[in-house]
């Protein structure tokens, strides 16, 4: 199908983009277009104007900045996957980026677009929630820094306010003794996560100092499995502790999503099995 008619603008600065968004009621930001354009073709979205932020300088790139990584909103998935800085200080994110869709999707889709779209089956949101990342947005009232855990509110719904544009994502970098992994059961056609689990463990002298476990794909927005995290805190990270933590994962998944491909019950089962595998791998990586 063809999209409805729309106007197209390609601003050179963020200020220009913000002014266009304000001027054109019903306008939408266009980044990689890999979620918005299919929705427009299906007439699930019919914006009156598209504000293409793809050529705005300073919105793309990856930089190590002290205790975190700065990733510009229009950075494409392929660049995150290949970045030496991401692979060194946050390998779990590079790993997740490399599993998104296919080569074409990874070469066009952006991290800012993925978080703003908030697809329940997307990969970044789950990983960013597990990493305690921060989403930076700029709008009519200035800049806001929103913790990932408070950003993804519901199905395709975020904490972004009207007129706000995601400008970057800040990722805390792991130190010695930190290991992370993203495990996904992807849909065979699109690779979207039927269930995705991100686990980050910090292990010192064999004991768990910090455990972070997030599940995506099973619910409208990614959830932290806090009971599972709490069950590991301070414990020796061994098979028994991991097994018992994984059993707590189901408690975090209320009203699981269900569709023709996977029932809610199956998604909860997958999350439990995948959490165990993720924690095992994260523990191995944390031990070095
Ligand atoms: P766009 O499509 O341009 O925009 C998406 C939405 O976000 C729009 O509402 C737009 O207005 C808004 N937006 C974009 N950028 C900003 C910004 N900076 N600030 C505010 N709002 C903004 N994703 C996965 O995670 N895993 C997969 O396995 C996967 N498989 C895919 C397979 C296919 C065949 C396709 C087509 C897509 C797949 N995707 C998958 C989605 C892909 O990752 C998209 O790139 C991503 O969801 C959206 O990024 P985009 O840059 O293309 O955003």
Instruction: Kindly state if the Cβ of 89 falls inside 6 Å of ligand 1.
Output: no
Rounded distance from Cα 251 to ligand 1 centre (Å): 30
Confidence tier at 202 by pLDDT (50, 70, 90): very high
Rounded distance from Cα 240 to ligand 1 centre (Å): 39
Measured at the alpha carbon of residue 117, what is the angle toward residues 113 and 120, in degrees to the nearest 5? 125
CA distances from 120 to 52, 137, 218 (A): 24, 20, 8
CATH architecture observed for domain 178-286: 2-Layer Sandwich (3.30)
- Kindly list the domain boundaries of the chain, sorted by start residue: 7-52, 62-172, 178-286
Does the structural domain 7-52 have CATH classification 3.30.43.10?
A: yes
Instruction: Kindly state if the Cβ of 30 falls inside 6 Å of ligand 1.
Output: yes
Strands 27-30 and 49-52: parallel
Confidence tier at 53 by pLDDT (50, 70, 90): very high
1-40 tens-digit pLDDT: 899 999 999 999 999 999 999 999 999 999 999 999 999 9
CATH architecture observed for domain 62-172: 2-Layer Sandwich (3.30)
Q: Would you say residue 66 has pLDDT above 80?
A: yes
- Determine the residue of 9, 44, 105, 115 to mutate for testing ligand 1's pocket, defined as the one with the most ligand atoms within 8 A of the Cβ atom: 105
253-287 tens-digit pLDDT: 999 999 999 999 999 999 999 999 999 999 999 99
Q: Would you say residue 218 has pLDDT above 80?
A: yes
Instruction: Kindly state if the Cβ of 138 falls inside 6 Å of ligand 1.
Output: no
Q: What is the mean pLDDT of the chain?
A: 96
So what's the pLDDT on residue 175? 79
- Indicate the pTM of the whole model: 0.97
Q: Using an 8 Å Cβ cutoff, are 1 and 42 in contact? A: yes
Residue nearest to atom 20 of ligand 1 (CA): 165
């Amino acid at each position: 199908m063809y999209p409805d008619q729309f106007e197209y603008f390609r601003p050179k600065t963020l200020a220009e983009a913000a002014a266009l968004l304000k001027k054109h009621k019903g306008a939408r930001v266009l980044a990689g277009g890999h979620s918005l354009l299919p929705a427009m073709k299906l007439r699930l979205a019919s914006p009156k104007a598209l504000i293409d932020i793809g050529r705005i300088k300073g919105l793309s790139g990856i930089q190590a900045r002290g205790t975190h990584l700065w990733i510009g909103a229009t950075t494409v998935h392929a660049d995150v996957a290949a970045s030496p800085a991401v692979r060194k200080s946050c390998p779990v994110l590079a790993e997740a980026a490399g599993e998104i869709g296919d080569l074409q999707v990874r070469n066009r889709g952006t991290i800012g677009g993925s978080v703003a779209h908030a697809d329940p089956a997307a990969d970044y949101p789950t990983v960013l929630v597990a990493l305690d990342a921060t989403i930076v947005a700029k709008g009519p009232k200035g800049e806001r820094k929103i913790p990932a855990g408070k950003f993804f509110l519901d199905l395709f719904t975020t904490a972004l306010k009207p007129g706000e544009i995601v400008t970057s994502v800040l990722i805390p970098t792991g130190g010695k003794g930190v290991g992370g992994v993203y495990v996904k059961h992807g849909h065979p056609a699109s690779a979207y996560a039927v269930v995705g689990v991100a686990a980050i463990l910090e292990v010192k002298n064999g004991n768990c100092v910090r455990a972070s476990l997030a599940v995506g794909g099973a619910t409208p927005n990614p959830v932290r499995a806090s009971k599972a995290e709490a069950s590991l805190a301070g414990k020796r990270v061994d098979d028994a502790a991991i097994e018992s933590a994984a059993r707590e994962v189901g408690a975090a998944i209320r009203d699981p999503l269900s569709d023709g491909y996977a029932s809610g019950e199956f998604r909860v089962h997958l999350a439990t099995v995948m959490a165990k595998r993720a924690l095992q791998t994260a523990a191995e990586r944390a031990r070095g």
